[in-house]
Every structure is written in C-alpha cells, then in structure tokens.
Structure 1
Amino acid sequence: MTDATSSSGHYGNLIGGASRASGLRRRRAAETRLKAYGITAITLAAIALFSLIGSVVYQASGALTEAYVTLDVTLNADDVDPDGTKDPKKVLRADFGGLTKATLREAFPDVTARKAKRQLYDVVSSGSAFELADHVSNNTDLIGETISYRFLASDVTDLYLKGNFGKLREQEVRGLLSVFLDEKGKTATISSSSNDFADVLAQVKLNLIEDAKRLRRHAARQNNAVSVFQRRMENAVDEETRAATEAQFKTATTQRDKLLAEAEALEARAGGTEGAEDLSDDNRSIFIRAGGGWIKLTKIDATVAEGTVMSALSGDLENTDAWTLLKTDLPEAARKVTDTQIVVIEDLKAAGAIDSVFNWRFFSSGDSREPELAGIWGATVGSLFTMLVTFSLAFPIGVAAAIYLEEFAPKNKFTDLIEININNLAAVPSIVFGLLGLSVFLGVFGVPRSAPLAGGIVLALMTLPTIIIAGRAAIKAVPPSIRDAALGVGASKMQASFHHVLPLAMPGILTGTIIGMAQALGETAPLIMIGMVAFIVEVPTSITDSASVLPVQVFRWSDFPERAFEAKTGAAICVLLVFLVIMNAIAIVLRRRFERRW
C-alpha cells in the first residue's frame, strides 16, 4: 500500500509539474508576442512619422535658396530722371519695368519675335523692376551711369535651375559637324560625318510608339461606345429613337476608325529604319550648341537634321568638332519653361551671371501672388498677434473658471450641467466656433473682419474648455493637507486658494494652457470662416489690422497653381511645426521645473 501511494503521488507531481511548465511557456510566449506587437506598432508609427516629416522637409528644401540674374543696366537720365531734380519720389515714378525689359533685350538681341520676347521678360521676376526703382531712388547718384544690378529670377528660372523641369543633358558625339544657313540666317541644315543623330532618332521613334499606344487606348474606349450605341439601336422601340441612335453609332464608329488609322500610321513610321522625323513640342527638345550660338532641331535623320537658329552663330562651322548635342528630359509641352528661356538661362549660366543665395526674403517679407516674392513674415506676425489675444482672453477666464468650479462652486445639478457642457465643448468641431464668431462677433459686435482680434476671440472660445479641464485637474491634484494647513493658520478660503493652491497647481495649468494654445495655433477652419483667408500683403502692426496666420497661409499656397508654391508650402509647414515643437517643449520644461512630489 505504501509503495502504491508513493507511486501515485510521484506521478501526480510529474503531471502537475508538466502542466505548470506548459502554462508558463504559454504565458511567456504571449508576453513575447505582446512585446513584438508593441515594437512593431512603434516601428510602423516611427516610419510613418519620419516619412511624413522627411517628405515635408524635402519639399521645403526648394524654398531655402533663390536665384539672381546679374545684368548691366544703363540708367539714362532722360528715362529715369527727365527733370534732373534727383527727387526720389519722382524717380520712383519712372518706367523701370520698361528699363528692365530694355536691359534684357540688349543682353539678348537675337530674341526678336513677340512671343519670344515675352518669354525673355519672364526670366526675371516681375517684382525686380520695383526693387530696381527702390535701389535707384535711394541712390540717386547712380543716375546717368551703367551699373551691374542683380535682378531676382522668376519662379520659372528658379525651378529650372533647381532641376524641377528636368535637366539639359549632353549627348555623346563622334563626327564632325557642318552647318549651312539659309539667306536670312534663321534656318539651318546640319550634317554630321558620323551617325550622331541616330540615338536621338531612335528615341523619337519610341515616342511615336507611345503615342500609338495612347491612340489605341482612346480607340478602345470609343469602341465601347460603338457597342453601346449598337445595342440601343437594336432595342429602339420607335423610328425616331433608332435614327438618333444610328447617327451616334456612325459618329462613334468614324471616330474609332480615325484613331486606329492614326495609330497604325505612327506605328508604321516608328517601324521604318529610314526617313526623317519631325520634332514637335510633344518630343523632347534637342539643341546643337556651336559657334557661340544655339540651334533647335525641328527635323532629324540619322546623319542630317534641320533646325531653327535661336542665337547667332559665328566662325567656321564646316567640318568642326567644336559642337555639343543637348537634349531635355521633358518635351516643351510638358514643362513651363520654354526652349527660348532654356537658351537664355544656359547662356547666363555660362557667363557666370546667375547665382543662388539663401532665401532670407522668405522669412522677412509678406505674401505675394508671385512665388519668388512670397514670404511668411506677415503670416507669422499675424499668428503671434492672434495667439496674444487668445492667451489674454482664454488664460485668465479659464483659470478663474477652474478655481471657482473646483474650490467654490456648490455641488448641485446646475454645476453638474456646467461641467457636462464644458466637457462637451472640448469635443465640438472647430468650425462651429468659426460660425459662432462669424454670426456673433463679426455680425453683431462689429469686430474687424480678418483681424487677429477676431481670430483670437474665436480661438479663445475654442481653447477655454481645454484650459478649464486641465486647470481643474491640476487644482484637484494639490493635496487637501495644503488647504487644511492654510485654513488652520487663519487664512480665508480665498487666500488658501490663491496663495497656496493656485501656485502649486500653476505648472499643470500652464502645461494645459500651452497645449491648448498649440492646438489653436494649428487651426484653420474657424479662421477661414471669419475671413482670415484673405490675401494680405502688408505685415500687420496691431491686433485690428487685416492679417493672415500660418495655417491659413499653408492652406492658400497649397491651392495655388504655380509649382513654386509647393516648396513654399512645405517651408511654411516646417515653420509651423517649429512653433508647435517650441510650445510643447516649453510645456515639458514647465512641468519638470515646477513639478512637486507629495
């Protein structure tokens, strides 16, 4: 019996031990999986955050530099100061826009066509004429002299220099070039002793194949329409409907056949091994640079090409090896910078007349319709004024409300209703506060529209619930012994609250206030409702001046069609993020500096 009992207990211990070990392994495996899930979630969140910030910073990098074009400007007294008074006010009224255009024409005399001249004028910013006027009016002794002046480059020039429209790539050449001009010197026939144009011709034929594929896709969609009209024609219940549907059927069929015929013609051209091809705006632009001038190719074969002279050629251009074949990454139809502007910009670069500098203008000027002139200083000042009004209203009112509700208010249904409404207001969409400001503050009280005063009042209402909730939590966290000690030495309830409880709760209150202010700084919808989306050029000087704010500036720039505003938008977002990081850092420092351990 003893041996049997001992054996039974031994086996029971073995079974129980195995069960406990199995359970322990399962718990450890569950803990490992939980840790893995947590690490994976944090990793994915970090990747998403860094990807977002990285994309914004990369986009913003294009706004950190700006380009200038240096040209010699002759300040004729008859044009700038015909009266000879050197009065700065009269000098400002001179036609500096015409002077800027004349300077560009003198620098590039080969640009003679009206359309080409307009493109030439767009190489520099439209605002550069006003800056030249300011420069001359402040230095009237320059009148009558020829000065070297740095014109601000236009957004098109700046984007081209930064590679946003692709690059002008040099192609390898092996043969000797011969150029023959017509009588007017405007059209050139170019030949090469080697097959230097063969690679370019092959690329042109590939473009023909792509165009043929596009036409066939259009034809396929048109064929679907043909099938639909055919079914409708077969199912028509009366002759009038049948006739109308038959007309649509024939039109769709004709369009389909036309598209297919064009695609077949392009494929036949692309399949041919010989024959010249015309170069349109849908092809990548091809240039030849020789004899100090430029030729744009309009027709190309393996060894012979035709082109338009874009700037005068000089020297002996028969069997010369001093030539360059250049090709753009994008066709002219797919980029804003034109071929004329590319030639002008490349000549300026070769002459050392273009330089890039840090874009201080972005941080020191107000808004503008021209991307190269636009800055964020006006919106930054508007944000500072708006936040000043918001803090001046929301902080004292929010703190007073928190002290009253936590220290003095009786506990009844009315105060319970107030607390519920405060909590609900914290979850109300911000645009509702904008509607309130539009209908009450602007419509009833006549607060100036699109002013920091109106924006600050609206954002103060939106921030109040956050400050009150954070203030009550901070006040409640102060130990009751502090109140009891103050009351025990004869202080009134008012003195105990303001002299003892409030100073100790202030770190938490300030933390909640700054977080609420940071949220208000990034709000856009309520400010749009009260008109702060208006185009404001001047930098505001008071809380009643018309102004914009950084989030609204970002919203407006992101909606502009000019490509240069993309970089401006990213840079403005980075500035806004810096403001938010600073405000949150202040909140963390305040909490750690004044934190008390009870």
Structure 2
Amino acid sequence: MTDITSPIGVGPRVSGLHTGDAAKARLRGRYAAETRFKWIGAGAVALSALFLVLLLSTIVTEALPAFRMNYLTLPIDLSAAKVDPANPGAANYATIAQDALSAKFPGVESRQDRRLLRGLLSSGSGDILRRDIADDPSLLGKTVDYSFPLDDFADLYFKGLIADKGSDTAIATTVAPSGTTGDIEVTFGDDSIASLARGYGAIEENGVLRLTSGAASLFVALDGGMVKLTEISTAGGATVAKGTVLKPLDSNAAAAAGAAMLRVINTPESSRKISDKEIVWLDELKAQNLIQTRFNTIFFFTGASREPELAGIWGAVVGSFLTMIVTLAIAFPIGVSAALYLEEFATKNRWTTIIEVNINNLAAVPSIVYGLLGLAVFLNFFGLPRSAPVVGGMVLALMTLPIIIIASRASLRAVPPSIREAALGIGASKVQMVFHHVLPLAMPGIMTGTILGMAHALGETAPLLMIGMVAFIVDIPGGFTDPATILPVQIFMWADFPEAGFQQKTSAAILILLAFLVIMNAIAVILRKRFERRW
C-alpha cells in the first residue's frame, strides 16, 4: 500500500472560527434576519398601501352621493295670470313653485303642515326658475313641467343617508280603520302587529305599547292612505292601535286580509332631520314618478351657498386657477433666474453662501409665516384687495420660490461639465453657453420641480386664511382682483358646516383637489419624459 500524503503546506481541515457549528449557526441567523427584514419591509409597504386604499375608498364612498341630485318635476303655471309677460322678473317664482307642490297634496291644510310641505323644495327653486325663464322666455304663457332641486334633507332621504328604511311587509290579517282623517283607531284581526312593535323599540306600560319618538316609526298603508301608529293594545285576541292619518284614507275602499302593508322606518324620528310626514309625502311623490335622479350639475357649475343642495365648487375652481396663474407668473421666472445666477454666474463668497443657506431655510419655513408676511406687506402696507387671487398668488409665489430655486439648481448641476466646456471651446460666450446649451438640457428637471412646487402650493390653506381668502364668496370670480376662494379653503369651510349635506360635498371637493394634484404630477412626468435628453 502506498501512503497518501497531504500536499506540502496543506494539512487536514481544522474546525475554526468560520467553519465550525457556531459559524454555521451565525450564518443561519444572519440569513433568517435578512429574511425577516425583507418580510418586515414588504409588510410595511403592504400596510401603507392598505391605509391608502382605505383612505381613498372612504373618500370616494362618501363623495359619490354628491355627484347626483334628486329633482321634483311639477307642472308650473306660467300664464299671464301668474307672470306678467311685460315684466317677468317681478313675478314671485318661489310662490309659483310652492303652489304647484301644494296642489299635489290638497289634504294638507294646516299652516304648519303647509310650511313643512313647501320645505321639501330647495329654497333656491324660485331663483333657478327665474334664471331659466330669463334664458328662455318661450316658457311664458303656458303650463310646463319643470324640475326643481329638492331640499338637502329630502335629497339625502332618497340617497338613504338620513333614514334607514325597512322593507314593506304585507299584513296577513284583516285591518279595519275607524275613520279616514285625523286621529283614528285601527283594529287588527290578530296580535302580530303587537309582536312586531316590541321588536322596534315600543315601550310597554300596563299592557299598552307606546311608540314614542325614540322608537322606530311604524306606518300602515291601507285604503289608499297612510296611518302612523302611536299606541297598540291587545284584548280578546284582537289588536287595537291608535294612530294619526298622514295621508287620508279612501272611505269607499274595502278592507281585507292582505290588503294592508306595514312600512317601517328603523331610524327614530328624534334621531333624523326629516319628519314622518315628510317621508310619507316624498314616498307619494316617488310613487307618482315625479322624483328624478340626475347628474349634479349644480355642484360642478355654481358657486358657494349656505344651502347644501345649492352649494357648488366652480367658484373655488376658478379662484384656484387664477391664483395658480399669478403664482406661476411670479415664481417661475424669478426662481429660474435666481438659480441660473447662483449656479452659473455668481462668485463663491461669503454673501452667496449666506444667500444659499437662507434659501434652504426658507424652504422649511411654515406656510402660515408667508401668510403673515402677505397680511403685513401686501394688505396692510400696499393696500391690495383682500381675498383676491392676485394677493393669494403673490403669497404662494413667495412660498414656492425656494422650492423652484433648489430644484432648478439641482437640474443645472446635473448637466455634465463637458457640455459647458464644449460650448466654450467652440467660441460661445458664457451667456450663450448657459442659455443655448445648459438651460435647455436642465429645463425638464426645472419644469418638474416647478410643477411639483405648484402642486404643493395648490394644497396650502394656512397662508390664504391669513389674507382673507376664507371669506364666503357666492359669485364666480371674473378677474384677478375679484373676491375668490380656492379649493383647500372651500374644503375647510364646508368641513366646518354642521349640515349633513356638506359632508358629502366636502369629500367630493377633496376628490376634485386630488384629481388636480394627480393631473399636475402627471404633467410633470410627461414633460420630463418628453424633453429629457440622455448623454
């Protein structure tokens, strides 16, 4: 046998610091830590995406009802007896609209009920009709079917936002009313209605079930009318209920088993902004096919209003557009010029260093400080008009300037030095080199930084509050000096209003503002891709 010897200098493998079991355990631990870190990072991204989806879905869900509006179509008498053809502007169109609605419910006679009925129409119905007649005088002299916007609570009722309406249930027993109007008694053939009332929050006292305003509302539809039950008692196998007639019954109708229906509003009357009478009237109008749901043009093409159903976003959109024009016209040329001077022409000394440090610091100054500056200088010292796009644009331009300067300088530094050297080498002056070669190559980055700075300015509210752009502006601004507001301020104002109708419009306005920001960011990406040059 020949002995096998190890090569010179190579001995048997010895378990050491990096090859032993402890080293393998450390290696496995490191791989496990890397895997955990990877999954933690992926989990953080997934959690952020989940919160983003949750936020957007919540906003979209709450905003969708604002994009549609319910209208009531009524026959309007515009004959010469109601409207003077020689002076149509003097007619009381609100009364004409209310009389047309009252004609649909001749049984509503008390002053309080008539006022409640007329409140189903928007308070601006008369003004809307007046404007449409001024635009189309051919409507005069005849009776026309005209669609009026509903009041905000009536509109929210049809959207299912203020009253939880249950499904109709057929009453399988006989139902006999004691009258057709006023307070009556309704006799049922069994006690099933009493069992149902217990499940809807009725309070039992001495064998009598009382349906107070804190319980669900129970209606019995029979003989072409509607009775609201207020008290139920059971005796001798039959059930006798007291109630109030909200819609007169037909005395000629024959009561029979299965002919009556039980309607339930689960939300107690004390917990909603619409009464049982209004619900009955609205359901009757809906049954007559007089209620129509349309795209809400009022929201998109009108200005602000104290009435939720009449409030629109167009005034804020126009104000935002005018303000952004002023901001861009001031911030872009000054910002780019300052960046060119500091980056290409200014000598590096103590003063330029101080300027650069202050520009960087100004980019981090809270936005409300710029609002205080605008209040002190533009309004108090120069006397410029309050709540005007020209002042708002100047304040936002001051806030945006540091962002544009920093982004422009970064874009200029990104241009390779060889471009400058080549231009100077062929005889170009320094100004020609900067404006003919460096600036065009840096322009995509400059435009991107400018648009992102503008998008940041569009979302600011605090500086504009200081210069009075929180004022309630009804009219659409027609120029840079007219009173106006912008989208963030309009959202801030609507969010502070207590009416439920403004909640959905607040979410819709947020969606429109997000759409503006997405469009501006998309434009920045497109411009960068379109003008970007590779070297």
Is the CA contact 2:229–2:241 (under 8 Å) kept in the aligned structure 1?
A: yes
Aligned pair partner of 1:306 in 242, 255, 274: 242
AA aligned to 1:337 is: I
User: Bigger shift: 328-337 or 490-499?
Assistant: 490-499
Q: Does 1:186 align with 2:182?
A: yes
Aligned pair partner of 2:509 in 539, 549, 572: 572
- 2:175 aligns with 177
- 1:295 aligns with 227
Aligned pair in 2 of structure 1 residues 542, 191: CA closer, same or farther (>3 Å)?
A: same
Q: Does 1:428 align with 2:365?
A: yes
Aligned pair partner of 1:48 in 47, 51, 58: 51
Aligned pair partner of 2:19 in 16, 19, 31: 16
Q: Distance in 2 between matches of 1:472 and 1:135?
A: 55
Aligned pair partner of 2:448 in 485, 495, 511: 511
Q: Does 1:37 align with 2:33?
A: no
Which secondary structure does the structure 1 equivalent of 2:266 belong to? strand
Aligned pair partner of 2:77 in 71, 74, 78: 74
Shift of 1:317: 4.7
Q: Distance in 2 between matches of 1:8 and 1:191?
A: 109
Is the CA contact 2:222–2:255 (under 8 Å) kept in the aligned structure 1?
A: no
Map 1:116-515 → 2, pairs under 5 A:
116-169=113-166, 170-181=168-179, 185-203=181-199, 206=201, 208=203, 269=204, 275-302=207-234, 303-314=239-250, 315-319=252-256, 321-515=258-452
Deviations 1:553-572 (A, max 9, x none): 11111111110111111111
Shift of 1:15: 7.2
- 1:225 aligns with none
Shift of 1:13: 6.7
Aligned pair in 2 of structure 1 residues 383, 31: CA closer, same or farther (>3 Å)?
A: same
Q: Distance in 1 between matches of 2:28 and 2:210?
A: 76
AA aligned to 1:114 is: R
- 1:104 aligns with 101
Is the CA contact 1:532–1:548 (under 8 Å) kept in the aligned structure 2?
A: yes
Structure 1 unaligned runs (5+)?
A: 209-268
Shift of 1:35: 0.9
User: Bigger shift: 68-77 or 466-475?
Assistant: 68-77
Q: Does 1:550 align with 2:487?
A: yes
User: Bigger shift: 294-303 or 443-452?
Assistant: 294-303
Q: Distance in 2 between matches of 1:99 and 1:139?
A: 17
Q: Distance in 1 between matches of 2:455 and 2:290?
A: 45
Shift of 1:150: 1.2
Q: Distance in 1 between matches of 2:495 and 2:508?
A: 11
AA aligned to 1:177 is: V
Aligned pair in 2 of structure 1 residues 436, 300: CA closer, same or farther (>3 Å)?
A: same
Q: Distance in 1 between matches of 2:313 and 2:403?
A: 29
- The share of aligned pairs that are identical, in percent, is 49
Structure 2 unaligned runs (5+)?
A: none
AA aligned to 1:306 is: K
Deviations 1:85-140 (A, max 9, x none): x23xx212211111122212211112222222222111111111112223334444
**Higher helix fraction: Structure 1 or Structure 2?**
1
Shift of 1:401: 0.4
Q: Distance in 2 between matches of 1:546 and 1:291?
A: 57
AA aligned to 1:566 is: Q
Is the CA contact 2:308–2:502 (under 8 Å) kept in the aligned structure 1?
A: yes
Shift of 1:388: 0.5
Which secondary structure does the structure 1 equivalent of 2:456 belong to? helix
Q: Distance in 2 between matches of 1:12 and 1:107?
A: 100
Shift of 1:361: 2.2
Q: Distance in 1 between matches of 2:28 and 2:459?
A: 49
Aligned pair in 2 of structure 1 residues 444, 14: CA closer, same or farther (>3 Å)?
A: closer
RMSD across aligned positions (CA): 2.2
Aligned pair in 2 of structure 1 residues 403, 178: CA closer, same or farther (>3 Å)?
A: same
Q: Distance in 2 between matches of 1:447 and 1:284?
A: 57
- 1:263 aligns with none
Aligned pair in 2 of structure 1 residues 15, 337: CA closer, same or farther (>3 Å)?
A: closer
- 1:57 aligns with 60
- Aligned residue pairs total 526
Is the CA contact 2:157–2:163 (under 8 Å) kept in the aligned structure 1?
A: yes
Deviations 1:398-451 (A, max 9, x none): 000001111111111111111111011000010100010011001111221101
Q: Distance in 2 between matches of 1:517 and 1:588?
A: 14
TM-score (structure 2 length as normaliser): 0.94
Is the CA contact 1:378–1:548 (under 8 Å) kept in the aligned structure 2?
A: yes
Q: Distance in 2 between matches of 1:15 and 1:457?
A: 66
User: Bigger shift: 100-109 or 438-447?
Assistant: 100-109
